[in-house]
Structure 1
Amino acid sequence: MEETASATATAEPVAEEKATSYRYWVREATGDAAPLPAPRKLDAADLAANPVPTSLGSVWNQAGTWEEKNLNSWAHSRIKDLLGSLDPLEFSTGKASVYEVSRCSGDAFLVTVRNKKRVGYTYELSLKFKGEWLIKEENKKVKGHLEIPEFSFGELEDLEVNIRFSDDKDLSPDHKAQIRKDLKSFLSPIQEKLHVFENELKDR
């Protein structure tokens, strides 16, 4: 009997200790610990004291490590605006005008690398033309396309223009050669317009 009572007396403090330990951790979790600071909206004084560092990248990329931005929407629209406003040209035996950019295929982009901005593009174009030439003492109406093969940023001095007629069955090889030579005169104003595009792209 004495042994049993002694064992019971020994067990009671252990149970009490466990209960105390359990209640201690509950108090920690339910509010006895220091409260978290309440969120507060920054005012102008806070922003002035902690200015955001200047970066060319987005807000999430303040280090300016690498970021690429697609400029296709702006570039397509701007190229069409610029080349759709070319002045008509007159030649010794005819005249012609560009009236539509029928194809504008490519990409334009802005890349930020190590907080430095770089722009680039690659395009190929097709411009519709219409004109009138004196052929065998008769004015012949001619339509077709000025095809500009793929070109990239910084390559405008190497730009090429190829002529494709919509209907040339009434034109002799000599007449087609003369009309092609005349239409090559559009190369210089096209280059000028695309130089404007490049300069505006740099400022994006």
Structure 2
Amino acid sequence: MENGVAEKQSSYTYWVRDDAAPLPVPRKLTPEDISQQSQPNLLGSVWNQAGTWEEKNLNSWANSRIKELLSSLSLEFSNGKAAVYEVTKCSGDAFLITVRNKKRVGYTYELSLKFKGEWSTNDQKEKIKGHFDIPEFSFGELDDLQIETRISSEISKEDKARISKDLQSFLEPIRKKLAAFEQELKDR
């Protein structure tokens, strides 16, 4: 039996060490400890510190902001003046995406704007009203913006064609307002 006890004492125990360091004792961090730690400038939510995919819906803000920007648009042209007084259709999506700790924004919208104004022909002023339709516009594509004009006033076809041509001058102010919207979206 003495041989059996001697064998157990001399068995191979390389991975079991008696001189191993003691386990660290946990302690509560103080506010000073936390302030000394470097904190990276992260985008997005606190839970997403790795900077993986995170998408935020901005539709309600974007809808109200587009309506606010475009509802007070007015313009004078060669034979009259007109003003947008209501945004009747504002449908689409706006979003903020954080991916790999980089912010990306985007949107796609369709608009319909009501306008009213006056147009003069041969010393005669006529009230005009109608709609501007913007079939589709999206982030970074404002240079391709197009508006379609529908005049609902009772006037001749020739006058409607001339008025529609004059009303195309609304394109540039609309484009500027939407560019301001796009910049605000980027800054969010």
TM range (shorter): 0.7 to 0.9
Larger Rg: 1
Question: Which of the residues 36, 39, 46 maps onto 1:59?
Answer: 46
Aligned to 2:159: 175
Question: Which of the residues 103, 124, 134 maps onto 1:138?
Answer: 124
Describe the superposition over 1:110-139 as per-residue Cα deviations: whole angstroms up to 9, x where unpaired.
Answer: 101111110000001111100111245432
Describe the superposition over 1:65-100 as per-residue Cα deviations: whole angstroms up to 9, x where unpaired.
Answer: 1100111121111111111232x2222222111112
CA-based RMSD: 1.9
Which whole-Å CA distance do the structure 1 matches of 2:40 and 2:51 have between them?
11
Question: Which of the residues 84, 102, 107 maps onto 1:121?
Answer: 107
Describe the superposition over 1:30-79 as per-residue Cα deviations: whole angstroms up to 9, x where unpaired.
Answer: xxxxxx979x5x54213213344321121000011110011112111111
Question: Which of the residues 44, 49, 55 maps onto 2:36?
Answer: 49
For the residue of structure 2 that corresponds to 1:59, the secondary structure is coil
For the residue of structure 2 that corresponds to 1:60, the secondary structure is coil
For the residue of structure 2 that corresponds to 1:46, the secondary structure is helix
Q: Higher helix share goes to which structure?
A: 1
CA shift, 1:142, in A, is 1.0
Cα contact 1:53–1:62 (8 A) shared by 2: no
What is the 5 A alignment of 1:15-94?
43-86=30-73, 88-94=74-80
Which whole-Å CA distance do the structure 1 matches of 2:117 and 2:85 have between them?
10
CA 1:81–1:43: 2 relative to 1, 3 Å: farther
Which whole-Å CA distance do the structure 1 matches of 2:138 and 2:72 have between them?
22
Aligned to 1:4: none
Aligned to 2:186: 202
TM-score using structure 2 length: 0.80
Cα contact 1:64–1:114 (8 A) shared by 2: yes
The one-letter code matched in structure 1 to 2:94 is A
Which whole-Å CA distance do the structure 2 matches of 1:118 and 1:140 have between them?
47
The one-letter code matched in structure 1 to 2:106 is G
Question: What is the total number of aligned residue pairs between the two structures?
Answer: 164
Moved over 4 A (4+): none
TM-score using structure 1 length: 0.74
Which whole-Å CA distance do the structure 1 matches of 2:48 and 2:167 have between them?
48
Which whole-Å CA distance do the structure 1 matches of 2:97 and 2:42 have between them?
13
Cα contact 2:72–2:83 (8 A) shared by 1: no
Structure 2 unpaired stretches of 5+:
1-24
Report the more deviating stretch, 91-100 or 134-143: 134-143
Aligned to 2:176: 192
Which whole-Å CA distance do the structure 2 matches of 1:175 and 1:187 have between them?
20
